[in-house]
Chains A and B, each alone.
Chain A
Amino acid sequence: MKLYEYMAKDMLARFGIRTPRGRLVSTPQQAADTCAEIGPVVLKAQILAGKRGRAGGILPAATPAEAAAVAESLLGKEINGLLVERLLCEQKLEIAQELYAAIAVDGAARKPVLILSAQGGVSVEEVAERSIIRRHIDLPWGLFAFMTREAVRRLEVNDKVAAGVVDVCLRMYRVFRRHDAEMVEINPLAVLPDETVMAVDARITVDDDAAWRQRDLPFVSEYTAKEQKARDLGFAYVELTGDIAVLANGAGITMATLDVLQRYGGRPANFLDVGGGADAARAEQALELLLNDEPKALLVNIFGGITRCDDVAAALVRVINAREAAGKPRMPVVVRLAGTHEAEGTAILAAAGVTTHRSMEDAAARTVALAGGGTT
């Protein structure tokens, strides 16, 4: 779960990291009032997307009237496809230098890593490899001050700034561990004219799998309403822009199904991974969710392991019959069944007039033909 900037900064502030003075606002009047109180401000759209600045989502204002006008222009606007509903209205700072600091999970190393760079502010993907400092952190001991000092030394900043950065890194590590974060990033970590440091922008991603022990955190949904509903049911579901619905079981095979479908010229409308152990009831919920979008065709690709082909077949027949009873048009459905109870599943579908394929590629090609496109 990604946190909004204002939430991330609140969290950092609770752990003693300095952040700019400011307030979360949702009306032009609130922006003007905040500016009247703290002087020139920067208004920052609170959306879960990087590169907000380049997309026009971060704008300065010198006076209350200007703050109100800027807020007016940003609120309700769409930036990178996301609706702006709130702004962080913060004191405009004079910045001497912009650094980068992050602590993240390094999957390949199986441990956390501290990342620093003297070239903060910009998108860090654009920073040259040689300007990035990495220090892996061993569990359970965690991040020691000396490790941080060694890493910070390579930033080539003066002693006062270095001490400030070391302090921030140690506090970031506490946030990272206490809140089951996948990543805690401060960019820029600004050096002010008095040589103190401050978190001017921050991003924190919390591990969804640890939500059960992070109950004090606010809930942020990164998903569309339907995607969220699917997640609540325990499915991985993603909406796309094509016209063929795809149901498969397991992450790898779902991705492979999309690849094969597109190789034959098909365009997926959405896909749903029912997981490795879906039973009939779950398969039925999954199918209903997919068909709500009224795609041109449906491709079901099941390799039965724990999931039984006959369970999925029975669910599919029930969903097809329910649609028919509701007077909805018959939709082209292509099914690929293999594995556990394959013969039983094939028989159930044959009785309902649905043909099955044993090969995933045949099924994909057939689906594309039925959806009326592609290069079969």
Chain B
Amino acid sequence: MAIIVDEKTKVCIQGITGKQGSFHLRQMLDYGTRVVAGTSLERSVADISGVPVYATVEEAVDRRGATASILFVPAQAAKDAAFEAIEAGISLVVIITEYLPVHDAMEIMAFAAEHNTTIVGPNTFGIISPGKAKLGIMPNHIYTPGPVGVIARSGTLSYEIVDQLTRAGLGQSTVIGLGGDRVHGCSFTDCLKHMERDADTKAIVLVGEIGGRAEEDAAEFGKGMTKPLVAYIAGRTAPEGKRMGHAGAIIERGKGTFAAKVESLRRGGAAIAELPSEVPGLVQAALAKG
């Protein structure tokens, strides 16, 4: 099973002829992802690595039956590209793009909600169901299929933890990057809901960090879950953020700190890893108990 993406997902790459798009097209094909089409403003290109290139997502859906899209377009064009994919009836849009203006992100999320489209990102490394498909920029070789679902905010920290899981013989069902921006699509809680239902997932690792209240919300949801949860939170010693204004503090009301996150996750029944290297052991213990 896995969640959100699998071997049946038919992928369109928006921005397929760019440096990033064309590089990751090959990586995704190497991994066995069904990339069925791409879009580009460069009309001279008919295909790239055997994948047809169209001017619009509409054509990618009509001619090739694309069901998911991944964006490798610059921040200034990302809102347009995301709206195009949603409007064309794509059900999953993965936004790799960094530095997307937050007002654009809010508009994309509102439009996606109206169309029941799942958004992953922006500023995400993507999503991978090992052995089945990947829509993202993660290094292929560290993943292996198995029973552990991983939900992370940050790319390289998730690679670190996945690598340790794989080395400990613990494969992954799906690994998903929520994205590093304040406003993003799929949340920890959304992913936990999917993973709770997914037969392949037996334990879940949450890789969080300070700021926002997503981990606290996830902890609340975790109380009602049957599957064990292991969490690592980065930022225990991070210098106090200069960015948070009063309005932010009101929205969060004391949430968002390392202590608050760890405390709510503990209360939600999660096992807390103090160091990244403790994650595999805690997962093993949780699986043995289950």
A residues contacting B by CB (< 8 A) are: 2, 50, 102-108, 110-113, 115, 123-125, 127, 129, 132, 138-140, 177, 180, 182-183, 185, 187, 203, 205, 207, 209-210, 212-213, 222, 238, 240, 248-253, 255-256, 258-260, 262-263, 276, 303-306, 338-340, 359-361
Residues A276 and B155 in contact, CB atoms below 8 Å apart: yes
Cβ-defined partner of B246 (8 Å) among A125, A276, A303: A125
Residues B154 and A250 in contact, CB atoms below 8 Å apart: yes
Residues A104 and B160 in contact, CB atoms below 8 Å apart: no
Given known A-B contacts A205-B245, A260-B275, A305-B125, A339 and B142 have beta carbons under 8 A apart: yes
A305 vs B24: C-alpha distance when bound (angstroms): 12
A139 vs B110: C-alpha distance when bound (angstroms): 6
Residues B253 and A129 in contact, CB atoms below 8 Å apart: yes
Interfacial chain B residues near A187, Cβ < 8 Å: 246
Residues B137 and A110 in contact, CB atoms below 8 Å apart: no
Type the 1/0 row for B133-173, where 1 means its CB is closer than 8 Å to any CB of A.
00001110010000000001111111110010000000000
Chain A binder among B47-55, B56-64, B231-239: B231-239
- Asked whether any CB of chain A lies closer than 8 Å to the CB of B109, the reply is yes
Residues B110 and A338 in contact, CB atoms below 8 Å apart: no
B residues contacting A by CB (< 8 A) are: 75-76, 99-103, 105-107, 109-110, 125, 137-139, 142, 152-160, 163, 180, 182-184, 187, 207, 209-210, 212-214, 217, 232, 234-239, 242-243, 245-251, 253, 274-277
Given known A-B contacts A108-B217, A360-B276, A183 and B248 have beta carbons under 8 A apart: yes
Interfacial chain A residues near B212, Cβ < 8 Å: 107-108
Residues B209 and A255 in contact, CB atoms below 8 Å apart: yes
A350 vs B139: C-alpha distance when bound (angstroms): 24
Interfacial chain B residues near A248, Cβ < 8 Å: 156
Residues A112 and B106 in contact, CB atoms below 8 Å apart: yes
Residues A124 and B250 in contact, CB atoms below 8 Å apart: yes
Most chain B CB within 10 A, of A113, A238, A338, is at A338
Given known A-B contacts A238-B239, A276-B155, A252 and B234 have beta carbons under 8 A apart: yes
Interfacial chain A residues near B232, Cβ < 8 Å: 256
A48 vs B30: C-alpha distance when bound (angstroms): 50
Interfacial chain B residues near A213, Cβ < 8 Å: 76, 101
Shortest Cβ distance from A312 into chain B, in angstroms?
12
Cβ-defined partner of A207 (8 Å) among B101, B234, B242, B248: B101
Residues B245 and A276 in contact, CB atoms below 8 Å apart: no
Cβ-defined partner of A185 (8 Å) among B76, B210, B213, B246: B246
Shortest Cβ distance from B258 into chain A, in angstroms?
9
Residues A212 and B76 in contact, CB atoms below 8 Å apart: yes
Residues B239 and A240 in contact, CB atoms below 8 Å apart: yes
Residues A305 and B155 in contact, CB atoms below 8 Å apart: yes
8 smallest CB-CB distances across A and B, nearest first, come from: A252-B154, A252-B157, A250-B156, A104-B247, A107-B182, A210-B101, A255-B234, A253-B156
Residues B250 and A305 in contact, CB atoms below 8 Å apart: no
Closest residue on chain A to residue B185 by CB atoms:
A110
Most chain B CB within 10 A, of A107, A183, A213, is at A107
Interfacial chain B residues near A103, Cβ < 8 Å: 247
A139 vs B106: C-alpha distance when bound (angstroms): 7
Given known A-B contacts A110-B183, A209-B100, A132 and B138 have beta carbons under 8 A apart: no
Most chain A CB within 10 A, of B100, B158, B247, is at B247
The A contact surface, by secondary structure, is mixed
Shortest Cβ distance from A3 into chain B, in angstroms?
11
Interfacial chain B residues near A112, Cβ < 8 Å: 106
Given known A-B contacts A108-B214, A361-B277, A251 and B209 have beta carbons under 8 A apart: yes
26 A-B pairs with C-beta separation under 8 A = A50-B245, A104-B245, A104-B248, A105-B102, A107-B183, A107-B214, A108-B213, A108-B214, A111-B109, A115-B250, A182-B102, A205-B243, A212-B76, A238-B239, A250-B155, A252-B152, A252-B158, A255-B238, A258-B238, A259-B234, A259-B236, A260-B276, A263-B274, A303-B160, A305-B155, A339-B142
A215 vs B207: C-alpha distance when bound (angstroms): 37
Most chain A CB within 10 A, of B105, B137, B153, B157, is at B157
Given known A-B contacts A139-B107, A255-B238, A259-B235, A102 and B102 have beta carbons under 8 A apart: no
Residues B250 and A256 in contact, CB atoms below 8 Å apart: no
A132 vs B242: C-alpha distance when bound (angstroms): 23
Given known A-B contacts A207-B101, A210-B101, A338-B163, A252 and B153 have beta carbons under 8 A apart: yes
Cβ-defined partner of A50 (8 Å) among B99, B238, B246: B246
Cβ-defined partner of B275 (8 Å) among A125, A210, A251, A361: A361
Closest residue on chain B to residue A141 by CB atoms:
B110
Residues A304 and B275 in contact, CB atoms below 8 Å apart: no
Residues A180 and B238 in contact, CB atoms below 8 Å apart: no
Interfacial chain B residues near A359, Cβ < 8 Å: 277
A303 vs B158: C-alpha distance when bound (angstroms): 10
Shortest Cβ distance from A67 into chain B, in angstroms?
29
Cβ-defined partner of B103 (8 Å) among A138, A210, A338: A210
A85 vs B116: C-alpha distance when bound (angstroms): 52
Cβ-defined partner of B210 (8 Å) among A177, A203, A255: A255
Interfacial chain B residues near A129, Cβ < 8 Å: 253
A102 vs B276: C-alpha distance when bound (angstroms): 39
Interfacial chain B residues near A256, Cβ < 8 Å: 157, 160, 232, 234, 276
A360 vs B278: C-alpha distance when bound (angstroms): 12
**9 additional A-B residue pairs with CB within 8 Å, beyond A105-B106, A111-B110, A258-B238:** A102-B250, A105-B183, A108-B212, A108-B214, A110-B106, A253-B160, A256-B276, A260-B275, A276-B125
